[in-house]
Structures are given as structure tokens and as C-alpha cells.
Structure 1
Amino acid sequence: MKRIVYFCLAVMAVMLVSCTSLEQGNFWGSGSNKEPEIALKPVVVDAAKVVTGQTIYVPIYSHIYFENNKSSLDLTATLSIRNTDLDNSIILTAVRYYDTNGNLVREYLKEPSELRALASLAFVVERTDSSGGSGANFIVEWVGEKQVSEPVVEAVMLSAESAQGISFISGGRVIKNRTANNK
């Protein structure tokens, strides 16, 4: 069932790309071509108040191979972090991008920052950025000072040219849980 949902989302994304008026420089159709900017509020983390948190691994595919290992298609990757809690903020403590060899390429947060209830963030790795390689990944770390619903952390990879395109989702995987007992 999950595969069918992911396939339908991918088809809808390709249809959206195919139907937009790119010649007008407006990817989203009529209206503004920019999302509202989310201002992250820098905060100081008080370790004594932290009751929950996670470290999440998100696979990123900056390119995929087709036909053989010499032909590849470059992809734009968007990391999405969505606070699913209806009432409480979470604190993002790290958003790091690593390459195929596990080397740190880029750190996206300079300091811990609050993500408000139901707010979302997106971090984009452009199609022309090959610094991560085919085995790139993001590590996202967050904590909460109250029990909260876990955020949704996933990536969408996309490439579109002319009337053709490909897109797919890569879900984040929790690799470490943090509780009040194991700070």
C-alpha cells in the first residue's frame, strides 16, 4: 500500500512539473514563486529540561543510475522537516549533510533553533550540487522539553526536463532515541 501511495505522489509531482509554465519563470503557476520564509528562533538548550529527542538518518540520492553504471540522472533533493505536534515546539540541534564516504559536506544550522508547532522547514540540495555523491545523507537531530509527537523527516528527489520527469520520496529513519533517562 505504501508503494502505491509513493507512486501516486511521484506521478502527481511529475504531472505538476509537466503542466507548469516554466517559460514564465514561475514554477508554482500563478502567484508568487516563493514560499513564505520560516524564521527559526535561536534558542539555548537546557539539557536538564530535555525529555525527548531523536537522531534521524535520511538517504539522499543526488543522482541515480539508469541502463548501466555510466549513465546517470542528476536530481534536486529537498529535505523536509515537519513538526507534527499540535501545541508544542521542537528544537532542532543539527541538520548536517554528508557525502558518500561519510564526510561532512555542509552544516545547515549554526545554533539550536526552535521549530514552532505544525511548522515545516525545507533544505534544498540543488541538482547541480554533486558534492554528496550517490550515497549522500542528512543527519537531523532534534530535542523537546515536553513530550511531543515525532516530526516527519523525509526527502523528495526530483528531476524534470521537457515533459519527462522522475520523483520519489526517501523517508528518514530513527537511528537514536533520546529520553529523559539517557540524556
Structure 2
Amino acid sequence: MSEKISRFLAIAAMIVLSACTSSTTTPQGQGDQTSANQAQQVILDENSKIVTGQTLYVPVYSYIYHDDQKRLFNLATTLSIRNTDLANPIIITCVRYYDSEGQLVQQYLENPIQLAALASTDFFISTSDNTGGLGANFIVDWVAQTNVSEPIIEAVMIGTGFQQGISYISPAKVIQNQTNYTCSSAP
């Protein structure tokens, strides 16, 4: 009888273990790419009706200091833009990344993109890219052709090393209202 139980347990274990397969997928924003290329591009012109919009400042950190400012702790950054409106799209007109001195490092969009209701997109900066410095930031412009609820725009920074890991979120701050379909003026 114990032989039957042992066989049954062995077969059951093989079935359970064979069902536990590891699946590796590549996240959408990996490798300094952006999932924005999967969002719908839109063509706006001076006749496009814009009802509301904002320019937002999002503080990010390429690294932080530790060990009495003698060592750098590099961080990966994901800028997340989420349309919170239940029914209407928003249009992201600009996403620009600036370094600690206020110099433009990268402009992420060639053309505006539209985010459907409740859709989101992200932009990624890898851990090895610390060109932004301690005072890096994103400037994000969005508009809508109807009244919408404001999107949630925030940066998520994460780093692992020295037998520790840290992560935190940095929310966006509105710096001006936007009623134009073009990028806000900035250096």
C-alpha cells in the first residue's frame, strides 16, 4: 500500500512541477525604448480644438549619494503617464528629459500621441544612464479636445546594489496650463 501512495505522490509531484513553467517576457519600456511607440500618433494643427491641458514638471534622479557622498547609487527611472478619464482620450504633445543644469538630454516624441480612456504609456531610462544627474527632470505636455479628468504622471525610480534595494515615486507638479497643441516653451 505504501508503494501505491509513493507512486501517486510522485506522479502528482511531476504534474504540479510540470505546470510550474517559467515565462520570461520583456517589459514594454525596456532598453531605453518607450511604449509610446505603441500609442496612436495624432496629427494636430492650428485648427485643432484644444479645451484643456497642462505642462508638468516631474523630478527624477539618475542616482543618489550614499556613504557620506562618496559613492553613487544608480537608479533606473520609469516615467508613467496614465489617462484617468473614463471615456475620453488625451494627447501627449511633448516628453522632454533635462539634466541637472537644465540642458535638454532627450526629446522623446517626434509627433503627439493619443492615449485612449484609461490607457497609459511609459518612458524608461536605464540604471547605467546617469547623464541626468541628481537634479534631472521630465517636462510633459498634454492636451485634450474635451474636458477630461487630469492624468496621473509620476516617475518611479528603482535601484539595487550593495546588498540593498530602494524604490520610490516622484509625482508631477503642474507648472502651467496648456491650451496649445505645441510643446511649451523651454530651453
The TM tier, using the shorter chain, reads 0.7 to 0.9
- The equivalent residue for 1:153 is 153
Q: Find the aligned partners of 2:26 and 2:150 in 1 and give their Cα distance.
A: 27
Instruction: Count matched residues.
Output: 153
Q: Find the aligned partners of 2:45 and 2:146 in 1 and give their Cα distance.
A: 12
Cα deviation, 1:82-111, whole Å, max 9, x if unaligned, reads 011111110000000000000000011001
1:40 partner amino acid: A
1:89 partner amino acid: P
Q: TM-score under structure 1 normalisation? A: 0.77
Cα deviation, 1:40-92, whole Å, max 9, x if unaligned, reads 21112244510000001000111001132222200001100001111111000
- The equivalent residue for 1:104 is 104
Distance 1:162 1:103, change over 3 A: closer
Q: TM-score under structure 2 normalisation? A: 0.75
Q: Find the aligned partners of 1:67 and 1:161 in 2 and give their Cα distance.
A: 13
User: For 2:178, what is the secondary structure of its paired residue?
Assistant: strand
Displacement of 1:131 = 1.2
Q: Find the aligned partners of 2:68 and 2:144 in 1 and give their Cα distance.
A: 45
Distance 1:128 1:81, change over 3 A: same
User: For 1:69, what is the secondary structure of its paired residue?
Assistant: coil
Residue 88 (1) aligns with residue 88 (2): yes
**Contact 2:60-2:77 within 8 A present in 1 as well:** yes
**Contact 2:98-2:136 within 8 A present in 1 as well:** yes
Indicate the structure (1 or 2) with the bigger Cα radius of gyration: 2
Q: Following superposition of structure 1 onto structure 2, how do residues 7-156 of structure 1 map, counting pairs within 5 Å?
A: 30-35=22-27, 39-48=38-47, 49-156=49-156
Structure 2 stretches lacking a partner, 5+ long: 1-20, 29-34, 181-187
- The equivalent residue for 1:174 is 174
Q: Find the aligned partners of 2:174 and 2:42 in 1 and give their Cα distance.
A: 24
2:42 partner amino acid: V
1:133 partner amino acid: G
1:87 partner amino acid: A
Q: Find the aligned partners of 1:163 and 1:81 in 2 and give their Cα distance.
A: 31
Moved more, 67-76 or 99-108: 67-76
- The equivalent residue for 2:184 is none
